[in-house]
């Protein structure tokens, strides 16, 4: 693994359940939770964890030094868990 892949693995692990509300997606949808509405009842928790992680990374600027192509690869790797079905084909085509 190269250093970027190691960093992605560490961040993916660290942010896997970031800001988890302690309930499942079914509960969020059934109670009309704001997160369910925000993500249109699709992969609610996965999208929330990913968006929270990306927000923190953008706010702290820790990866501002990355060029656009490297940031894009980083972004795709971190987004895979939130949209794994949609992104798997795209990711494999990049490799």
Answer whether 54's CB lies under 8 Å from 78's CB.
Answer: yes
Residue spans of alpha helices (H) in the chain: 3-14, 25-30, 34-38, 44-60, 68-79, 84-94
The four Cα atoms 37, 44, 50, 75 give a dihedral, to 10 degrees, of -90
- 1's CB contacts (< 8 A; 6+ apart) are 9
Q: What is the pLDDT of residues 22-55, one digit of tens each?
A: 999 999 999 999 999 999 998 899 889 888 988 9
Domain containing residue 62: 3-94
Question: How many residues appear in the chain?
Answer: 95
Domain count, the chain: 1
Q: What is the pLDDT of residue 37?
A: 96
Q: What is the pLDDT of residue 94?
A: 67
Q: Is the pLDDT of residue 74 over 60?
A: yes
Q: Specify the pTM.
A: 0.74
């Amino acid at each position: 693994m190269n250093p970027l892949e190691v960093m992605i693995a560490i961040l993916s692990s660290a942010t896997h359940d970031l800001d988890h509300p302690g309930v499942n997606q079914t509960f969020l949808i059934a109670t009309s939770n704001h997160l369910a509405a925000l993500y249109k009842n699709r992969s609610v928790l996965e999208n929330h964890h990913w968006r929270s992680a990306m927000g923190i990374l953008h706010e702290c600027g820790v990866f501002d030094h990355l060029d656009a192509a490297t940031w894009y690869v980083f972004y795709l790797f971190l987004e895979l868990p939130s949209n794994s079905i949609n992104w798997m084909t795209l990711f494999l085509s990049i490799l």
